[in-house]
Amino acid sequence: MTEPVPVDENLKKVRERVMQLAREIEQMSGQEIPPPIYFQEFLTRVVTAVGARAGVVWLLDESGRLSLLAQMNLEQTGLRETPGALGVNEKLLVEVMQTGEARTLTHGGESKLPTEHVLVLSALHKEKKCVGVVELFQRPDVPVKAQSGYMQFLEQMCGYASRFLEGRRRNVEDNVDLKNQFWSDFEQFSLRLQRSLLEDEVADAAASDSRALLGCDRVSVAIRKGRSFQIRAVSGQSSVNPRANLIVAMRNLSQRVIEMGETLIYTGKVEGLAPQVEEPLAAFVQESGSRMVMLVPMFENEAMVRKQGEEEDRERRKKRPRATGCLVIEQIAESEPLPQLEQRAELLADHIGAALWNSRQYGRIFGLSLWKVMGKGLEWFRGRKLAISAAVLLGVAGLVAVMALYQLEYPIKAEGKWMPVEQTAVFATSDGLITRTGIMIPPDQLVKKGDLLIVLQNDELDGQIEEAKAAIEKQNNMQLAKENEIRTAQFQERSEEGEQKGSAVATVKRLEVEKQRILGDGRVAVKQLDQLEKRKAEKLYIKAQASGRIPDFQLRQLLEDRPVRAGDHLFDIMNDGEGSQWHMELLVEEKRMGHLLKAQRDRVVNGQSPELEGEFKLASQPEKEFTCHLTKVATRSTTDTELGTVFELTAEANAGQDLPPQRIGVEVTVHLYCGKTSLAYWCFGDVVEFVQKYVWL
C-alpha cells in the first residue's frame, strides 16, 4: 500500500514548480522572440503558476487604445458575452494604466467588476511609461490571504515582461540620457519625501518610488522604535500584514541588519556574511524566492550645528551612529545587482532615513493635532484679516457688554379670562332629572335672588307624594263609611227598646271610636303629605342665590333631559351689572413661579406690596395695552390639559383706565414684571433654565 505524501512535501513541489516557471519567463525575456509569441508563452506560464481561470495581455496600439495581444481561456470568463462587461473592464484597465500599480479587485469593493471572477492586474512599463496591462481572472473563492501573493507574483513577472519590451542590456547605465533621467527622477523623489511629515506617508512614498528609481523588483522599509522592529511599507502594497510569513521573515532579517548597522548584500552565496544573519537570511530567501537581497541601514540625523573643539570632535568620532531602520531591496530574477545599485541604494537610504527621522521627531510633539489646529487658526489672522477679526471681536465684545449691563424688566407671561369678581355657583340640591318643563330660566338669562330656576323631577319623591294623597283619599272614604254606619246605628237605637236598645247604644259608641281612629289616621296622612310637599319645595326647587347673569351659551340645550345627583355643578351666576367688580383669572406655568415668588419676596423686603405690576391685552381689543397688578397667588398647583402643571393667579386692572365694554370670558394675556434683569437673560433665560434643569448635575 502506497504511503500518503506529506503536505509539506506537496507545498515544496508546488513552490519549485512556480519557481521553475518564473525562471523560464526570465530566460524568455532575454531572447529575441516576436511579442505575440512571447506574451502567449508568458501568459501560459503565469496562468499555470497561480492557477487562474484565464488571462489576457493588453497593449497600447498606434492609436493609443488598449488592444488584446494574447489571451488564454478568455471565452470561459463570459467577458465578451456579458452586456456592458467590456466597458467596465476597460475602465479598470485605464485606472491601472494611470496609477502604474498592481491591484487585486474583489466583489464587494469600491470598483464594479465585469465578471464573477477576482481580478489581478499589473501594468507593463517601457521607458518609465505604462504601455499595457496583464489581467488574470482568478476563481471567486480564492482565499483572501492568497490574493496579495498572486498580486506580488504577477507584478514580478510583469517586471520581466517590461524588460523584454525595453530590450534591456547590461550596459544600459552607460547611456547618458538614462543617467540624466535618474537624477531628474531623484529630484522628484526627494521632493515627494519632503511633502509630508507623517511617518506612514513618508514610508509608503519611499517604498513605491524607490522601486522604480532603483529598477529592482521590490523595496520595503523597516524601522526600529525602541526595542520593537516592524516593516512599515512594501512597494506595490497599500497595507502590510505583520503576521504574513514573508513579513515575519523580513522583520527578523531586518532586525539583525539594523543592530549591526552595516549593509548586507546577498547574491546567492552566504560566504563572507555575518553568522547572526545566516539563519534569518535563509528563511527570508526561501519565503520570498528572491535571488538578490540588499539591506541598507538608515541612521539618525546628525545635529546641523555642532560644538567646536578637539574634545567634541573626539567624542563625536567615538560615538557610533544609531541605525533607525533599513531598506530591503530585492531582485527576483537576477542574482547579480544592477550596476551602481549599491551606491544609489545608499544614497536613497540617506535621504529616506533623514525624512523618516524628521517625521518621527515631528510625531513626538505632544498634542500635535491640537497645536496644528491652533496654528492654522492663528495663521488666518494676518494682514487685513487681522483688522477684520479685531473689528468683529470688538463688535462681539460690545454686544456682550450691552447684553450683560443693560437692565430691563423680566416679564412672566400668564393667560386667562376676564371675569366678574362676584360669582355664585348653582348646584343640584337633590337627585333627579331636569326636564324641559322644569327649566324656569328666562331667555335673557338675567335672574334675581330668590327666582325659581329649575324644578327637578324625582320619581321616588313624586311616588311618595302620590301614595300620601291616596292614603288621605282612603281615610276620607273610610270616614264617610263610618259616618253612614253611625247614622244607621243611631236610627236602630231610637227604634229599639229594652235590652236591644242597650246593644244599639254600645254599637254607636264603638263606631264613634273607630271614626276617631280614622280621623287620626287621616290627620297623620295629611301631615305626611305636607312634609313631602315641603321636602319637594326644598329639594327639587332650585332658586337663585344671587342676582346676575348666567353666562353659559345655549344653556337650555345643556340642561334639558340631564340626570343629576345632589351636589352636581349646574352653572354659575355672575354679577356683570353696572358697578360690579371685574378681575382676570390667570394660569401660569410651574417653571415661571420661581421668578414670580422671588420678585414678591424682594418687594416685601424693600417694604413694598407683594402685588406685582404688569400689563395686559384683551383678545377683543388687542391693539391696546392696559396696566394691572397681581392680587392673589394660589398656594397649590393644578393641572391644565395644554400647559401641564400650572398655578392659578388673579389680577385686577388699575383704576383710572378707559377699559372697553366688559364681557364675561374674554381671553386676556398678561405680562407680570418680576424685577430687573440683564438683556442676555431676558433673551436667553429659557436656555439657561433648560441647562440648569436637564444638563447640570
Q: What averages of pLDDT result for each successive group of 10 residues across the chain (697 residues)?
A: 53 80 81 85 90 91 85 88 88 88 85 89 85 91 84 86 68 52 82 86 90 89 91 90 92 92 85 85 90 91 68 69 91 78 89 89 81 78 80 92 91 90 84 82 82 79 77 81 78 68 75 79 79 73 83 78 84 82 90 89 89 91 90 90 90 88 88 90 86 74
420, part of any domain: no
417, part of any domain: no
At residue 6, the pLDDT reads 54
Q: What angle do CA 445, 547, 435 make, to 5 degrees?
A: 45
552, part of any domain: yes
309, part of any domain: no
| CATH label of the domain that carries residue 157 | 3.30.450.40
At residue 308, the pLDDT reads 66
Strand-pairing partners, residue 628, are 614, 653
Instruction: Note whether 30 and 156 are same-domain residues.
Output: yes
Helix (H, G, I), strand (E, B) or coil at 319: coil
At residue 587, the pLDDT reads 93
DSSP 138: E
399, part of any domain: no
| CATH label of the domain that carries residue 661 | 2.40.30.170
Instruction: Note whether 340 and 195 are same-domain residues.
Output: yes
Instruction: Report how many domains make up the chain.
Output: 4
Strand ranges across the sheet with 323-331: 228-234, 218-225, 323-331, 292-299, 264-266
Q: What does the block give as the cell for 56?
A: 489576457
Dist. CA 265–CA 253, nearest whole Å: 12
174, part of any domain: no
638, 646 Cβ separation under 8 angstroms? yes
394, part of any domain: no
192, 209 Cβ separation under 8 angstroms? yes
Strand-pairing partners, residue 418, are 584, 666
DSSP string of 274-306, one letter each residue: -HHHHHHHHHHHHHH--SEEEEEEEEPPPPSS-
CA neighbor of 232 nearest in space, from 108, 359, 372, 128: 359
Helix (H, G, I), strand (E, B) or coil at 135: strand
50, part of any domain: yes
Instruction: Note whether 524 and 587 are same-domain residues.
Output: no
- CA-based end-to-end distance of the chain: 82
Last residue of some domain: 106, 140, 169? 169
Helix (H, G, I), strand (E, B) or coil at 431: coil
349, 189 Cβ separation under 8 angstroms? no
352, 221 Cβ separation under 8 angstroms? yes
Dist. CA 433–CA 368, nearest whole Å: 86
Instruction: Note whether 564 and 589 are same-domain residues.
Output: no
Instruction: Note whether 207 and 347 are same-domain residues.
Output: yes
- Give me the helices (H) in 119-244, please: 144-166, 176-193, 199-214
Asked whether the CA dihedral 45, 51, 54, 55 is positive or negative, the reply is: negative
Dist. CA 286–CA 272, nearest whole Å: 19
What single-letter amino acid sits at 697?
L
Q: Which residue range is the domain that position 344 belongs to?
A: 186-302+318-366
Strand ranges across the sheet with 541-543: 541-543, 452-457, 432-439, 562-564
CA 360 to chain centre: 37
Instruction: Note whether 37 and 109 are same-domain residues.
Output: yes
Dist. CA 569–CA 598, nearest whole Å: 37
Main-chain phi, psi angles of 413, to 5 degrees: -90, 130
Last residue of some domain: 512, 538, 570? 570
CB-neighbour burial class of residue 398 (10 A; exposed 0-12, middle 13-18, buried 19+): exposed
Dist. CA 618–CA 416, nearest whole Å: 10
**CA distance to 26, 27, 593, 660, per residue, from 23 (Å):** 5, 6, 92, 110
Instruction: Note whether 198 and 326 are same-domain residues.
Output: yes
Asked whether the CA dihedral 592, 595, 600, 601 is positive or negative, the reply is: positive
361: CB partners within 8 A, 6+ apart:
none
At residue 329, the pLDDT reads 94
Asked whether the CA dihedral 548, 553, 556, 562 is positive or negative, the reply is: negative
Strand ranges across the sheet with 129-138: 66-72, 54-60, 129-138, 118-126, 103-105
Instruction: Note whether 563 and 610 are same-domain residues.
Output: no
CA neighbor of 326 nearest in space, from 358, 347, 299: 299
575, 548 Cβ separation under 8 angstroms? yes
Instruction: Note whether 23 and 156 are same-domain residues.
Output: yes
What single-letter amino acid sits at 693?
K
At residue 426, the pLDDT reads 85
Dist. CA 501–CA 505, nearest whole Å: 6
Instruction: Note whether 534 and 593 are same-domain residues.
Output: no
Instruction: Note whether 105 and 215 are same-domain residues.
Output: no
Last residue of some domain: 140, 169, 198? 169
- How many C-alpha atoms does 431 have within 13 Å on its Cβ side? 4
At residue 615, the pLDDT reads 93
Strand-pairing partners, residue 408, are 677
Helix (H, G, I), strand (E, B) or coil at 667: strand
Q: What does the block give as the cell for 385?
A: 484679516
Instruction: Note whether 157 and 261 are same-domain residues.
Output: no
